[in-house]
Amino acid sequence: MGFLKVEDLKVHFPIKGGLFGRTLDYVRAVDGVSFTLEKGKTYGLVGESGSGKSTTGRAIIGLNHVTSGKVYFEDKEITGETKAKSDFRKDIQMIFQDPYSSLNPKKRVIDLVAEPIRNFEKLTRKEERIRVQELLELVGLNPESILKYPHEFSGGQRQRIGIARAIALKPKLIIADEPVSALDVSVQAQVLNFMKEIQDELDLTYLFISHDLGVIKHMCDHIGIMYKGRYVEEGSAKEIFENPQHIYTKRLVAAIPDIDPRKREEMKQFRAEVNTEYEQSYNDYFNEEGLAYGLKPISDTHLVALPEKG
């Protein structure tokens, strides 16, 4: 069994309506998702807004209610575990998208970083202080700055505080939800490099959620592509980028702007081809509701959502 295993995860949100606010229908934000993370690797979850990628990440850690399905962490079931002090809470941490709003502006760095430690360990003031300073040093911030407030830091530094907080309890898995989307390219580079460094140092596993395929390709070993709450394709980074099989993945990969201005015409033509294919073969890849079919393996690691008939 894998390190983290998600089995047929479903997260449905009720739509209330009518005179008495009855539940009329459900938004199937995550609709039957299964995947496995390998220890020490980075797994990328890709999709456009509304694909359910963030909801999946939040459901794993218990921030969203799980409608059905199971989540196993190191062979123990953790589905719907909401107790703040459960063991897995220590082992799984989250990094959020917006470094400007995910840190409480009224708290000092020491309190922000020590907060998770305080929940799980009894440390003296002095021990705590030393621990926080070590963490700050580890994420490349000045250990002297423990008494500062978040607004005194730049965006990249704030994201580092978020990371310091996430790694404070020496977790095994970090769920990173769009960790660099709000950052400028040079700051983004800083955070991505740093995430790679601590991965080796602390033997971390990442579930990396992003809409940016360039970042995903740079960071991830395995990738899952989501569309409307379902998987359309899963495979190694190489398989997804060089040999996409599902028409949605093809379209997504084709839409990435190419960095070479001389390939403009080529790209335009390529995109037009993919688009034609998308229009012609839409019904082969999606059911009547416009949703993806179940995943079928086409190699050991490469799975594609195709209808039964193949």
Of 117 and 213, nearer to other proteins (C-beta) is 213
Closest approach of other proteins to the CB of residue 60, in Å: 23
The DSSP result for 36-70, as a single string, is: EEPTT-EEEEE--TTSSHHHHHHHHTTSS---EEE
- Under the criterion CB under 8 A, does residue 119 sit at the interface with other proteins? no
For other proteins, which residue of 108, 129, 211, 296 counts as binding (CB under 8 A)?
A: 211
For residue 240, the number of C-alpha atoms closer than 13 Å in the C-beta half-sphere is 29
Return the number of the residue (168 or 225) whose C-beta is nearest other proteins.
225
Task: Assess 251 for contact with other proteins (CB under 8 A).
Answer: yes
75, 260, 288, 289: which one contacts other proteins (CB under 8 A)?
A: 260
For 87, residues 6+ apart whose C-beta sits below 8 A from its C-beta are none
Please, which residue, 8 or 258, has the CB nearer to other proteins?
Answer: 258
At 279, is the secondary structure helix, strand, or coil? helix
Backbone φ and ψ of 134, nearest 5°: -60, -45
Residues 6 or more apart from 64 whose CB is under 8 A from it?
11, 29, 55, 58
Q: What x/- string results for residues 18 through 57 when contact with other proteins is judged by CB under 8 A?
A: xxxx--------------------------xx--------
* Number of residues located near other proteins, criterion CB under 8 A: 41
Is 281 near other proteins (CB under 8 A)?
no
With CB under 8 A as the contact rule, the residue among 262, 289, 300, 309 that binds other proteins is 262
Nearer to other proteins, 23 or 119 (CB): 23
Least Å distance between CB 62 and other proteins? 28
CB of 157 to other proteins, least distance (A): 8
Which window, 34-42, 84-92, 123-131, 208-216, contacts other proteins (CB under 8 A)? 208-216
For the bound state, the minimum distance from the C-beta of residue 260 to other proteins, rounded and expressed in Å, comes to 6
Binding status of residue 256 toward other proteins by CB under 8 A: yes
Q: In what order do the strands lie in the sheet with 303-305?
A: 92-95, 173-177, 205-210, 42-46, 222-227, 230-236, 303-305, 295-297
CB 156 within 8 A of CB 163: no
Query: What is the rounded distance in angstroms from the CA atom of residue 129 to the CA atom of residue 177?
Result: 28
How far is it, in rounded angstroms, from Cα 232 to Cα 227? Answer: 6
Nearer to other proteins, 128 or 178 (CB): 178
**How distant, in Å, are the alpha carbons of 110, 114, 115, 199, 278 from that of 245?**
48, 46, 45, 30, 12
Does 149 participate in binding other proteins (rule CB under 8 A)?
no
The amino acid at residue 95 is: I
Cβ 36 to other proteins shortest distance, Å: 25
Q: How many angstroms separate the CA atoms of 52 and 45, rounded?
A: 10
264 binds other proteins (CB under 8 A): yes
Contact with other proteins (CB under 8 A) among 42, 56, 67, 188: 188
Residue 148 CB, nearest distance to other proteins (Å)? 15
Asked if 185 contacts 214 with a C-beta cutoff of 8 angstroms, the reply is no
Kindly list the residues in this chain that would bind other proteins in the complex (CB under 8 A). Answer: 18-21, 48-49, 154, 156, 184-190, 192-193, 196, 211-215, 217-219, 241, 251-252, 254-262, 264, 267, 271
